[in-house]
Chain A
Amino acid sequence: MKVIRGAVDEMWSVMEQMVGSIFRHGLPLTDKIAARTALTNFVLHIHPVRVRRSWIRMSYTLCLGGLSFFLFIVLTVTGLYLMFYYVPSINHAYQDMRDLQFVVTFGGLIRNMHRWAAHAMVITVWLHMARVFLTGSYKKPREFNWGVGTLLLLITLLLSFTGYLLPWDQLSIWAVTVGTNMAKYAPIAGPYTRYLMLGGHAVGDATLLRFYVMHVVGLPLIGFLLMVVHFWRVRKDGFSGGL
C-alpha cells in the first residue's frame, strides 16, 4: 500500500513539475504574479506589462490591428491544410479544389474559412488604417510605422490577389487577366512587368506556379517580417493611447 502511495505521489510531483515548467507562476491572483507572468511569457511579451487604463480601451483601437494579425494566423493555418491537397498545375488545380469541396474531410469548411478570412482581412486592415488616420496616430514619432503599415496593406492586397488565381476556375483566370492587364500600361516597363508576373504572354501553367509560390511563401514571409517590425515599432514608439 505504502509503495503504491509513494509511486502516486512521485508521479503527481513529476506532473506538477511538468506543468510548472510551462506555466511558471500559477494563477495571476495578484498584480505582482500577473506582471511576472506577462514578463516571462513568450506569447504575452508582445504587450507592455503595465499600461494606462486609457490605452487599452477597445473603443480606441476597435481591436482592428489585432484582428488583422489574428486573421493572418487563421489564414496561415487554414492555408496549410489546403496545401496538403492542392497541386499548383493546370492539370490538377481545379480538380483538387473540387475534391476539397466535396471529398476531403472538412475541406469545404476550411476552404470557405480561408476565402472569407481573406476578404475579412482586407476589410479589417483597411479599417485599421482608417482608425489610425482618424486618431492622428501617424503623427510624430509614428511616421515610419505608418509607412510600414502602408506596405502591409499592399502585401495584404497582393496576397488576396495571388490567391484568387489558385482555384483555376473561370472566375480566377479572368480576374487575374484583367488585373495583370493593368500592369502593361506602364511606360517601357509595363509589358516586361506583365511578362514577369505571368511567366508568359497569357495566364497559364507558369502563371499558376508563380502566383502559388508568391502566395504561399514569398508574400507571407515579407508580410510576416513587416509585421514583426510593425509591432516592434508600436512598442518602441509608445502606443498613441487615448485622444
Chain B
Amino acid sequence: MATEARDRIAARDRVEARRRQVDAPSTLRDDSDDEMIVSFPEFVFKEFIAMVAMTVFLVLVSIFLQAPLLGQANPGVTPNPSKAPWYFLGLQELLSRFPPLMAGVAFPTFVIVLMILVPFLDRNPSRRPSERKVAIILFALYMAIVVALVIIGTFFRGHEFIWNWSWVLGNPQTCGGKSC
C-alpha cells in the first residue's frame, strides 16, 4: 500500500479513537461493528415518506374537521366555563385546586428549571432502560399526571370549572346565560 494512503488511514483511526474517548461514554453500546451506510438516498427517502404521510394526514383531517370559530369576541359576555387552550388546562386545573402563587407561578417555574437540570441531576451514567428504573418510573409518573390533568380539564370541568360528569355528554357552554 502506498505510504500516503497508510498515513491517511492511521490519522483517521487516531481521530476516531479520540472521538470515541470524548463522545462515547462506556454506557454507549459499542456500535463500531455496525455496517456504515451512506445516508443518501436511503435515509432521506425514509424521511420523505414520513413527511408525505404527515402531509396526507393533515390534509385529510383538515378537509373533514373544521377548526372552531365561535361568535365574535365580546369582552362584556364571559363564557362559562372559560377555559385555556388544552395544553394549558393542566395548569388551570392546578389553579383551581391550589393557591394561585403556588399553582400559577412557583410550580411551572419549578418544573421548567427542573427539566433543564435533569441531565445534571440524573447521575446514573447508564442509558439502558433496565438500569434506569427510577428515572423511567418518575418520568412516567410525570407524564401520567400531565395527561390526567389535561383530560380532567377538557372533559370533566363544567360550569364555574366545577367537576361535572355530564360534561362528557356535552354540557353546553353558556355566554351570559345564553348559548354561545
- Using a CB-CB cutoff of 8 Å, which residues 47-106 of chain B contact chain A? 47, 50-51, 54-55, 58-59, 61-63, 65-75, 77-79, 82-85, 87-88, 91-92, 95, 100-101, 104-105
| Per-residue contact bits, chain A 45-83, to B (CB 8 Å; 1 contact, 0 not) | 001111111111010000100110011001000000000
| Per-residue contact bits, chain B 14-47, to A (CB 8 Å; 1 contact, 0 not) | 0000010011110111010011111111111011
A: number of interface residues (CB 8 Å)? 87
Tell me if A204 and B75 are in contact (CB < 8 A). yes
Chain A residue numbers with a CB within 8 Å of B36 are 50-53
Query: What's the Cα separation between A67 and B49 when bound, in Å?
Result: 11
Chain A residue numbers with a CB within 8 Å of B88 are 157, 161, 179
Tell me if A139 and B25 are in contact (CB < 8 A). yes
Chain B residue numbers with a CB within 8 Å of A109 are 59, 62-63
- Assess whether A187 is interfacial by the CB under 8 Å rule: yes
Query: What's the Cα separation between A111 and B84 when bound, in Å?
Result: 20
Closest to A54 in B: B34
Chain B residue numbers with a CB within 8 Å of A48 are 39
From known contacts A56-B39, A109-B63, infer whether A177 and B73 are also in contact, taking CB-CB under 8 Å.
no
Q: Which of A58, A136, A139, A243 contacts B46 (CB 8 A)?
A: A58
- Assess whether A220 is interfacial by the CB under 8 Å rule: no
Tell me if B69 and A167 are in contact (CB < 8 A). yes
For the complex formed, measure the closest distance between the CB of A132 and the CB atoms of chain B, giving whole angstroms.
10
Interface residues on B, range: 35 or more
Chain A residue numbers with a CB within 8 Å of B72 are 94, 168-170
From known contacts A53-B34, A54-B34, A243-B129, infer whether A175 and B82 are also in contact, taking CB-CB under 8 Å.
yes
Closest to B119 in A: A143
- Using a CB-CB cutoff of 8 Å, which residues 160-204 of chain A contact chain B? 160-161, 164, 167-175, 177-179, 182-183, 185-187, 190, 202-204
**Contacts from B to A (Cβ < 8 Å):** 19, 22-25, 27-29, 31, 34-44, 46-47, 50-51, 54-55, 58-59, 61-63, 65-75, 77-79, 82-85, 87-88, 91-92, 95, 100-101, 104-105, 112, 115-116, 118-120, 122, 125-129, 132, 135-136, 139, 143, 175, 180
**Contacts from A to B (Cβ < 8 Å):** 28, 31, 34-35, 37-38, 41, 44, 47-56, 58, 63, 66-67, 70-71, 74, 90, 94, 97-98, 101, 108-109, 111-113, 115-117, 120, 122, 130, 133-143, 146-147, 150, 154, 157, 160-161, 164, 167-175, 177-179, 182-183, 185-187, 190, 202-204, 237-238, 240-243
16 inter-chain pairs at a CB distance below 8 angstroms, sorted by A residue, are A28-B40, A47-B40, A50-B38, A63-B50, A136-B126, A142-B119, A169-B72, A170-B73, A171-B69, A173-B73, A178-B92, A182-B105, A185-B100, A185-B101, A238-B23, A243-B128
